Amino acid sequence: MSHNILLTGALNYSKDNIRLIGTMGFDVDFIQYETEKVENPGKYDAVVCNGLFLYNNIEAFSRLKYIQLTSAGYDRVPMEYIKIHGIEIHNARGVYSIPMAEWAVLKTLELYKQSKVFYNNQADKKWVKQRGISELYGKTVTIAGCGSIGTEAAKRFKAFGVHIVGIDLLKPKENYYDEFIHASHLKETLDKTDVLVLTLPLTEETYHLIDAQCFELMKNDAVVINISRGKVIDEAELTAALKGNKIGGAALDVFEEEPLAKSSPLWEMDNVIVTPHNSFVGDSNHKRMFDVIINNLKVWLNSDGKV
């Protein structure tokens, strides 16, 4: 028996991609923009989307049994409704981990090697040596969130000869971490942390987890790398800590409100690197994402997807 599936422009499907999904026993519909009102939402058994339910009431999808997200986070879907109604849901676990981990390492090195200074001097044709360059070797990198993104980051930082502390609710199985500390003890690790990498999901517990108290506990040359969600950090208190030289710098790909307001002082700080929620981009993402979609749909069809 065929199933009705809705795909959205959250992923750029090729004709072959859509054809392959059709051969699996799906009648496929596609909408480009998730802000569009979905016509006849009650006919769909499955959807592949990102922020579709921010603009379309999930209750109208009365037959919905399966959701595949193209995002790693679950913060754009009504999880309570999904759990109550027994809808199977999957995220894009592992799809964006490699480019995000590479971004974390890159931006840490840019802060340590003062790349912004050299770029500015190059633009001005100024030949000025910098004597305050730091080494990553021997430093302590604390990774808050030991999922696939955090673990890919740990794998790469390990090559630089750092001490890696993993922070999470559950101890990771991978051996890239030199030390594991339960999330409830995060603040106890900050006084020895040189680089704090945030890869946490946004939940009620992690909202503004990194606040003024954290910055007071950190070394004054420590740097913060945020590739999780902007609201994991209290942005006002981060800005104050940076202005007051309570920490050494920050590389931020996510913000409390996006796009970052032009009035934000973060744009103009010498010790801050701002990128527009771009760390997840990589040239192999499409293949990884489509493989996840196909593999998860196959499993679903062979189990709960049978009707």
Pair (39, 102) in one structural domain = no
Pair (44, 109) in one structural domain = no
- Assess if residue 202 is contained within a domain: yes
What's the CATH code of the domain at 64?
3.40.50.720
Pair (83, 163) in one structural domain = no
Pair (63, 172) in one structural domain = no
- Assess if residue 307 is contained within a domain: no
- Assess if residue 62 is contained within a domain: yes
> Could you list the residue range(s) of the whole structural domain that residue 51 is in?
3-95+284-301
Pair (16, 55) in one structural domain = yes
Pair (114, 197) in one structural domain = yes
Query: How many separate domains does the chain show?
Result: 2
- Assess if residue 306 is contained within a domain: no
Total-model pTM: 0.92
DSSP letters, the chain, are --EEEEEETTS---HHHHHHHHHTTEEEEEES-TTSPPSSGGG-SEEEESSHHHHS-GGG-TT--EEEESSS--TTS-HHHHHHTT-EEE--TTTSHHHHHHHHHHHHHHHHTTHHHHHHHHHTT-----S-PPP-TT-EEEEE--SHHHHHHHHHHHTTT-EEEEEESS--SSTT-SEEEEGGGGGGGGGG-SEEEE-PPP-TTTTT-B-HHHHHHS-TT-EEEE-S-GGGB-HHHHHHHHHTTSSSEEEES--SSSSPPTT-GGGG-TTEEE--S-TT--TTHHHHHHHHHHHHHHHHHTTTT--
Pair (76, 134) in one structural domain = no
- Assess if residue 291 is contained within a domain: yes
pLDDT at 152: 98
Pair (260, 144) in one structural domain = yes
- Assess if residue 279 is contained within a domain: no
pLDDT at 304: 59
Give the residues of the chain that fall short of pLDDT 70: 304-307
Pair (115, 205) in one structural domain = yes
- Assess if residue 196 is contained within a domain: yes
Q: 248-307, pLDDT tens digit by residue?
A: 999 999 999 999 999 999 999 999 999 999 999 999 999 999 999 999 999 999 985 454
- Where in the sequence numbering do the catalytic residues fall? 229, 258, 277
- Assess if residue 29 is contained within a domain: yes
Pair (198, 109) in one structural domain = yes
Pair (22, 104) in one structural domain = no
Pair (124, 238) in one structural domain = yes
